[in-house]
């Protein structure tokens, strides 16, 4: 019974932060707001194709809930991505700071940026699927 894929990750936020997070993940990363169950707290589910991969859950700071423990050493979340040159141009047009990190000895190229809450996002591009001259 192996793990076969990442299903989703959830970002705890306040109700006031939901809008800026939805804006970032839709405008910058191209995710789409989709169906979400009727949960007790505000939020949104953001989809890539037919999968809800980012969940926003506005329970941060709620007086009705006990404080959540820190997620500790989580460093970043990575998305498999395509069209490195188009993504560079898109990030620049959106004035989103990013830095790049080719993976030595491996046909992967990483682009790192941060969401409005400071979560580090990695976009991973397989150079085998990119046009020549992408790097």
Mean pLDDT (the chain, rounded): 87
- CA dihedral sign, ordered 39, 43, 48, 49: positive
Q: Where are the domains of the chain?
A: 1-61, 74-135
**pLDDT at residue 5, as a whole number:** 78
Class of domain 74-135: alpha beta
Query: The pTM is what?
Result: 0.84
**pLDDT at residue 26, as a whole number:** 97
Question: What residues contact 75, with CB distance under 8 A and at least 6 apart?
Answer: 120
Give the tens place of pLDDT for each residue, 53-91. Answer: 999 998 766 566 556 666 767 889 999 999 999 999 999
Q: How far apart are CA 101 and CA 124, in angstroms?
A: 10
Q: How far apart are CA 109 and CA 123, in angstroms?
A: 8
**pLDDT at residue 69, as a whole number:** 62
**pLDDT at residue 78, as a whole number:** 93
- Which candidate, 39, 26, 34, places its Cα nearest to that of 116? 26
- 10-residue mean pLDDT series, the chain (135 residues): 82 91 96 92 93 88 61 84 93 96 89 93 87 71
**pLDDT at residue 31, as a whole number:** 96
Q: How far apart are CA 53 and CA 2, in angstroms?
A: 19
The CATH code that applies to domain 1-61 is 3.10.180.10
Do 1-61 and 74-135 agree at the fold level? Answer: yes
- Which candidate, 14, 20, 3, 6, places its Cα nearest to that of 53? 6
């Amino acid at each position: 019974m192996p793990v076969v894929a990442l299903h989703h990750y959830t970002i705890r936020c306040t109700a006031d932060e939901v809008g800026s997070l939805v804006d970032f993940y839709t405008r910058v990363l191209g995710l789409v707001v989709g169906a979400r169950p009727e949960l007790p707290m505000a939020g949104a589910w953001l989809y890539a194709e037919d999968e809800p991969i980012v969940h926003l859950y506005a329970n941060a700071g709620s007086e009705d809930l006990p404080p959540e423990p820190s997620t500790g050493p989580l460093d970043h979340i990575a998305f498999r991505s395509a069209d490195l040159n188009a993504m560079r141009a898109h990030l620049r047009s959106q004035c989103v700071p990013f830095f790049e990190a080719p993976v030595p000895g491996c046909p992967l190229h990483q682009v790192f940026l941060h969401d409005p809450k400071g979560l580090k996002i990695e976009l991973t591009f397989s150079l085998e699927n990119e046009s020549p001259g992408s790097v």
